Chains A and B, each alone.
Chain A
């Protein structure tokens, strides 16, 4: 079974631009969560989608948004990029939402904002 895939793997943008990251979950998984990882803050939760609905959201500004499609694939969008948005963005999928569902992480998208 193929793992979680994320595209693109690397991205360079300039301040003020917007970016869209994509995540394809493991086949059959319906929950997709997004995380931001930086050296200073570690891993921080952005949001979780399940059956095309946002179930949970972390403490990030409205510039960060996401959506999930009927095939469970998910996209994350960041508008008006800031230098501090430079990070590794990780997506994780699980069979369902809920405490005990194991999450499987993708390789991440490395975003650099210049």
Chain B
């Protein structure tokens, strides 16, 4: 069964600190992997999209990595800010020709002052 698992489920860090969120997947055939940020009560916003051949992709203070061999991805947040408090969702897209997205359950991050 195609699944996406994220860890930890929730995380509290102090403002200014770094953190890393993990994503493991079993989705096959693989097309691409996306990280989304979702503020409470809002729609998800895309942070990065990575294809099979990409190992690292950055978007400001967000850096995503992908190891397609071990089917693992991580999202590293540098110098966290209060506005980083949100849910971070890992999404793997199946290679079907359609928009077939498999969602992780997300990591809820709280940045504390």
Contacts and interface: CB of A to CB of B under 8 A. Distances in A.
A107 B45 CA distance: 10
A44 B103 CA distance: 7
B98 A105 contact: no
Contacts of A72: none
Contacts of A31: 99
B43 A106 contact: yes
Contact of A48 (B34, B42, B46, B98): B98
Interface string B48-63: 0101000000000000
A108 interface: yes
A56 B43 contact: no
B6 to A, nearest CB: 10
Q: How large, as a class, is the contact surface on chain B?
A: 20 to 34
Given A56-B98, A99-B95, A100-B32, A88 B41 contact: yes
Interface stretch (A12-20, A60-68, A78-86, A90-98): A90-98
B99 A97 contact: yes
A94 B93 CA distance: 14
Nearest to B94: A99
A114 B94 CA distance: 36
A99 B104 contact: no
Interface residues of A, number: 27
Contact of B46 (A43, A90, A102): A102
A101 interface: yes
Given A42-B105, A42-B106, A107 B43 contact: yes
Closest 6 CB pairs between A and B? A105-B43, A99-B31, A43-B103, A42-B105, A56-B98, A105-B44
Interface of A: 4, 31, 33, 42-45, 48, 55-56, 88, 90, 92, 94, 97-108, 110
Given A88-B41, A102-B49, A108-B42, 20 more contacts: A4-B43, A33-B101, A42-B89, A43-B103, A48-B99, A55-B98, A56-B99, A90-B43, A97-B99, A99-B96, A99-B97, A99-B99, A99-B100, A100-B31, A102-B46, A103-B99, A105-B43, A105-B45, A106-B43, A108-B41
